């Protein structure tokens, strides 16, 4: 990169501010994808600050591409009202940085169109705002938007006339520690990794753990965040401490995941990391913001799936799933009743185009032990099936999304976004510039 000046006159040192939260009840997904982007920026000479509540300072270090640098953290209070949150953010940008910044990157579900419009309306210093989003369920007036979900259409953002839209698998954010472990030859003798994300995941985790056969021959690693309550999980591990072990160390997770033979994950960031590494996987879709993941899995046949937020799918054409489906039918009632429930739910199943590899259910109480057992057994019985799955994973996620994003952000210029007074006036009408 050539010698440049940032707004503070420093050589070769652009500055980026990330507004992101983490911690119990929020999890680590927003934080980890921001950290991935930040690591790439630091490697290219940027100075990076994270502003938010519950930030894990243990994740400050970065050694990406041989460049050692830290993320700087500014901890804030938790504001019940997003308006107060935004005003506090602007106060920090003014008093601490004097607006000598190159871009503001926002990754939170809390900000509404009013909030983003307000940032544009009073951005007298023409600070470029970048939104990281994965739902497309709100307007986000900004200079750029990044949606790192594979196969996500840019249409919702195009209609908002956002100048720069980085959307889909080309921009999926995979942390550098995972990317550095790619290229290994897959070993099907490794442990089973179970990781459902950050925060309190005890309920879905225990449903999965109790569904695993008692005499499962591989070691089992349960990886959770340090914030997760551990009593029930530790009790399950204590029944067979030789074959079962717990990990709460974020730094150890990439190596543990890369050495696994099978991964059971949530439907978010960790699943894309699994695809980048390439290994058999079962995706548990258990929160609403992972609905799009169910579409990807069904269309691309890249994982098995237990979907707890959509509908029952009876279009599967696989004898080895038959017992699991019969068991679910008994719990739900008649076939017509199931179809009625299905029609009222999210109809991602209509997008299935390739071979069926998913079992979907509407409730965490419907996770079926027979289904889990059959998937685990299939790991040894049909290696060609798994290899095909791994090839499809690699074809979808190549781990270069952060590089592509930062290359574009380095050329990002402020462009005016069309706004109306009503976009921000409703909740900010008494605010003084």
Cross-sheet strand order for the sheet of 262-266: 244-247, 220-223, 192-195, 262-266, 281-285, 304-307, 359-360
Q: Express each pLDDT in 394-421 by its tens digit.
A: 999 999 999 999 999 999 988 888 776 6
Using the predicted structure, report yes or no on whether residue 119 has a pLDDT greater than 70: yes
121 shares a domain with 51? yes
- The pLDDT-based confidence of 318 (bands split at 50, 70, 90) is very low
CB 311 within 8 A of CB 345: yes
Maximum CA pair distance of the chain? 70
231 shares a domain with 150? no
Going by their DSSP bridges, the two strands 103-107 and 15-20 should be labelled as parallel
CATH of the domain at 314: 3.40.50.2000
231 shares a domain with 128? no
242 inside domain: yes
**Stronger pLDDT, 298 or 56, i.e. the higher one:** 56
CB 270 within 8 A of CB 195: yes
Q: Among the listed ranges 131-145, 153-167, 350-364, which one has the minimum average pLDDT value?
A: 350-364
Please name the residue that has the structure tokens 């705002």: 129
Nearest-angstrom CA–CA distance, 422 and 429: 10
Please name the residue that has the structure tokens 């071979």: 355
Q: Which phi and psi angles does 250 have, rounded to 5°?
A: -60, -35
Nearest-angstrom CA–CA distance, 265 and 281: 8
Task: Work out the average pLDDT over 260-284.
Answer: 89
State residue 404's pLDDT score.
98
Residue 80 exposure: Cα atoms within 13 Å on the Cβ side: 0
Task: Work out the average pLDDT over 148-158.
Answer: 90
**Stronger pLDDT, 18 or 387, i.e. the higher one:** 18
Nearest-angstrom CA–CA distance, 403 and 275: 18
State residue 284's pLDDT score.
78
State residue 331's pLDDT score.
40
7 inside domain: no
First to last CA, the chain: 37
Pick the closest to residue 393 from 293, 306, 294, 271 (CA basis): 271
- The pLDDT-based confidence of 68 (bands split at 50, 70, 90) is very low
Contacts of 365 (CB under 8 A, 6+ apart): 207, 331
6 inside domain: no
316 shares a domain with 346? yes
Nearest-angstrom CA–CA distance, 359 and 367: 10
Using the predicted structure, report yes or no on whether residue 12 has a pLDDT greater than 60: no
**Stronger pLDDT, 241 or 346, i.e. the higher one:** 241
Please name the residue that has the structure tokens 């509540």: 53
Which H or E run contains 131? Answer: strand 128-132
Q: Which phi and psi angles does 335 have, rounded to 5°?
A: -60, -40
Nearest-angstrom CA–CA distance, 383 and 407: 39
Share of residues in the chain with pLDDT > 90 (%): 41
State residue 361's pLDDT score.
41
State residue 337's pLDDT score.
40
Q: Express each pLDDT in 173-229 by its tens digit.
A: 999 999 999 998 888 889 999 998 766 788 888 888 888 887 788 899 999 988 788
CB 218 within 8 A of CB 188: no
Q: How far, in Å, are 310, 321, 329, 353, 382 from residue 313 at the CA level?
A: 9, 12, 11, 14, 23
Mean pLDDT highest for which of 160-174, 333-347, 370-384, 417-431? Answer: 160-174
- The domain of 67 spans 15-174+400-428
According to DSSP, residue 264 is labeled: E
433 inside domain: no
CATH of the domain at 77: 3.40.50.11190
Q: Among the listed ranges 36-45, 90-99, 350-359, 370-379, which one has the minimum average pLDDT value?
A: 350-359
185 inside domain: yes
Pick the closest to residue 207 from 226, 228, 232 (CA basis): 232
- The pLDDT-based confidence of 135 (bands split at 50, 70, 90) is confident
According to DSSP, residue 151 is labeled: T
CB 283 within 8 A of CB 360: no
257 inside domain: yes
Pick the closest to residue 405 from 29, 107, 98 (CA basis): 107
128 shares a domain with 64? yes
Q: Express each pLDDT in 343-365 by its tens digit.
A: 333 223 322 233 344 444 444 55
Q: What total number of domains does the chain contain?
A: 2
210 shares a domain with 155? no
Render 284-351 in DSSP notation, one character per residue: EE-SGGGHHHHHHHHHHT-SEEEESSS--------GGGHHHHHHHHHHH--HHHHHHHHHTS--GGGG
391 shares a domain with 283? yes
253 inside domain: yes
28 inside domain: yes
Task: Work out the average pLDDT over 275-298.
Answer: 74
- The pLDDT-based confidence of 154 (bands split at 50, 70, 90) is very high
191 shares a domain with 266? yes
290 shares a domain with 405? no
SS3 413: coil
Task: Work out the average pLDDT over 320-328.
Answer: 37
What are the tokens at 13?
């040192």
Q: Among the listed ranges 55-64, 337-346, 378-387, which one has the minimum average pLDDT value?
A: 337-346
Task: Indicate the pTM of the whole model.
Answer: 0.80
192 shares a domain with 144? no
Mean pLDDT of the chain: 78
224 shares a domain with 156? no
Using the predicted structure, report yes or no on whether residue 431 has a pLDDT greater than 50: yes
Angle between the N-to-C axes of helices 82-95 and 113-121, in degrees from 0 to 180, rounded to the nearest 10: 30
Convert 72-123 into a string of H (helix), E (strand) and C (coil): EEEECCCCCCHHHHHHHHHHHHHHCCCCCCCEEEEECCCCCHHHHHHHHHCC
Q: Among the listed ranges 21-30, 132-141, 348-357, 368-377, which one has the minimum average pLDDT value?
A: 348-357
273 shares a domain with 364? yes
């Amino acid at each position: 990169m050539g010698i440049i000046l940032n707004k503070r006159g420093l050589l070769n040192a652009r500055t980026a501010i990330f507004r992101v939260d983490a911690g119990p009840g929020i999890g680590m997904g927003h934080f980890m994808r921001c950290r991935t982007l930040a690591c790439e920026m630091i490697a290219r000479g940027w100075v990076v600050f994270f502003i938010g509540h519950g930030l894990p300072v243990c994740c400050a270090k970065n050694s990406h591409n041989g460049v050692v640098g830290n993320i700087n953290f500014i901890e804030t209070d938790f504001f019940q009202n997003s308006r107060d949150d935004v005003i506090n953010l602007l106060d920090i940008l003014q008093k601490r940085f004097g607006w000598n910044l190159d871009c503001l990157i926002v990754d939170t579900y809390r900000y509404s169109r009013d909030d983003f419009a307000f940032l544009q309306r009073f951005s007298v210093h023409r600070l470029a705002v970048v939104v990281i989003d994965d739902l497309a369920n709100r307007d986000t007036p900004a200079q750029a938007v990044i949606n790192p979900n594979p196969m996500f259409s840019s249409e919702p953002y195009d209609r908002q006339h956002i100048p720069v839209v980085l959307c889909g698998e080309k921009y999926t954010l995979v942390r550098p520690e995972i990317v550095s472990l790619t290229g290994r030859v897959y070993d099907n003798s490794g442990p089973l990794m179970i990781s459902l994300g950050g925060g309190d995941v005890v309920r879905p985790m225990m449903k999965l753990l109790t569904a695993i056969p008692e005499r499962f021959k591989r070691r089992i690693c349960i990886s959770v965040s340090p914030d997760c309550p551990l009593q029930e999980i530790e009790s399950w591990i204590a029944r067979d401490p030789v074959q079962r072990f717990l990990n709460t160390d974020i730094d150890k997770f990439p190596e543990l995941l890369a050495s696994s033979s099978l991964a059971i994950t949530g439907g978010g960031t960790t699943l894309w990391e699994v695809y980048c590494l390439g290994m058999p996987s079962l995706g548990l879709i258990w929160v609403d913001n992972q609905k799009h993941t169910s579409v990807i899995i069904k269309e691309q046949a890249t994982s098995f799936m237990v979907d707890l937020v959509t509908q029952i799918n009876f279009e599967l054409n696989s004898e080895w799933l038959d017992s699991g489906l019969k068991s679910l039918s008994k719990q739900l009632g008649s076939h017509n009743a199931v179809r009625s429930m299905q029609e009222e739910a999210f109809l991602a199943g209509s997008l299935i185009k390739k071979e069926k590899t998913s079992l979907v259910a509407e409730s965490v109480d419907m996770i079926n032990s027979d289904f889990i057992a059959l998937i685990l057994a299939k790991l040894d019985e049909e290696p060609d099936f798994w290899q095909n799955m791994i090839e499809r994973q690699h074809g979808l996620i190549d781990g270069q999304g952060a590089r592509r994003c930062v290359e574009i952000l380095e050329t990002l210029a402020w462009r005016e976004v069309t706004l109306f007074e009503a976009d921000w006036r409703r909740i900010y009408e008494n605010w003084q510039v």
